[in-house]
Amino acid sequence: MKSVTLNTLRDYKTRGEAFSCLTAYDATLARCADNAGIDLLLVGDSLGMVLQGHKSTLPVTLDHIRYHTACVARGKQRSLLMVDLPFMSNADSGQLLRDAGELMRAGAELIKIEGQAWMADGIRELDRRGVPVCAHLGLAPQTVHRLGGFKVQGKAEDEAQRIVDDACRLVDAGAAVILLECVPRAVGRAVSKAVEVPVIGIGAGPDVDGQILVMHDALGLDSGYVPRFVKNFLSGNDSIEAAFRAYDAAVKARRFPGEEHCF
Ligand code: KIV
C-alpha cells in the first residue's frame, strides 16, 4: 500500500481528480478512515469543539494538539497527516518554528496555519526548514471574535479578490496546500484555478481539488448546529467504515458537495 504524500495530492490535481480528507483525533477512527481510503487526515483544532465541548477553537493548546497527533499517527498507515497550529502559535517567528517542530516530531507530515497574506514570512521560514505548510483562508475559526461569528467569507467582490490574491501570495511564499473554508463556490473555483498547488475546500463548493469534513459532522453526530455544507454519511450505511467509504466515493465521483451544500 503506497502512502499518500504531497506528490499524490499534486497528481490528483494534475489529473483533475478530487481527493478526500477528514478530521481525526484518535487512533481507532484514524485507522478506520485510513482503511476506507481517505487520503488526508487532519488533527484539527476543531477538537476543542467536538471533543472538549468548547464554543470555539481558542482554548486548544499545543499540548492538546500534540497528544491527538501522536494518537492519530499511531492509527493511520496510508493517509497523509495534516495538523493544525493552535491559536497564537504564530504570535512570533520563534514560537511558530518551535511549535511546528514539536508537531512534526509528534507525527505531523503537513502543518496547517490560519490567517491571511501576513503569514507569508512564517510560511517561508517553515518551508526553508523543510516543513510543508497548508494555508487556511476564508473563514478562519481562530478569528471568530473579530469576524463576529462563523460567517461565510468572500461574498463581496473585493473580499473575494483578496482571498484569491492572498492564496497566490502564500503559494509564492512556499505554501504547499491551500485550505478554503466557507466561501462562495465561485471563490473556491477562482482560487483553485489561480494556484498550482492542491486546494482543499470545506463549504467552498465542488470546484476545488479536495474536500474535507469534520469527522463528527460526516457521521451525523448532533453538535446543536448543522452547517449548510455538512452531509451525514452514516445515514443509509451500517458502520462507521462504510460511512467513510461512502464519503470517499462521493468526493471522488464529485457527487459531494452538491448544489445544496454550496454558498
Ligand atoms: O480544525 C478543523 O477541523 C479545521 C477544518 C474545519 C478544516 O480546520
| Residue 111: partners with Cβ closer than 8 Å, 6 or more residues away | 82, 83, 85, 100, 103, 104, 126, 131, 132, 133, 134
Q: How far apart are CA 51 and CA 89, in angstroms?
A: 21
Q: How far apart are CA 111 and CA 8, in angstroms?
A: 17
Question: pLDDT per residue over 213-243, tens digit each?
Answer: 999 999 999 777 889 999 999 999 999 999 9
Mutate to test the pocket of ligand 1, among 40, 41, 202 (most ligand atoms within 8 A of CB): 202
User: pLDDT, tens digit, for every residue of 150-165?
Assistant: 999 999 999 999 999 9
Which residue has the CA at smallest separation from atom 1 of ligand 1?
44
Give pLDDT tens digits for 98-116.
Answer: 999 999 999 999 999 998 9
Q: Please name the residue that has the C-alpha cell 498547488.
A: 197
Annotated active-site residue in 181, 196, 259, 260 = 181
CA-based torsion, 144, 145, 148, 154: positive or negative:
negative
Continuous H helices in the chain: 6-15, 27-35, 47-50, 62-75, 93-106, 120-128, 144-147, 157-173, 185-194, 215-218, 240-252
State CA 115 to chain mean position distance: 13
Active site residue 181: yes
Residues 6-261, CATH architecture: Alpha-Beta Barrel (3.20)
Q: Is the pTM of this model over 0.85?
A: yes
Ligand 1 atom, smallest distance to 45 CA? 1
C-alpha torsion sign, points 219, 184, 165, 143: negative
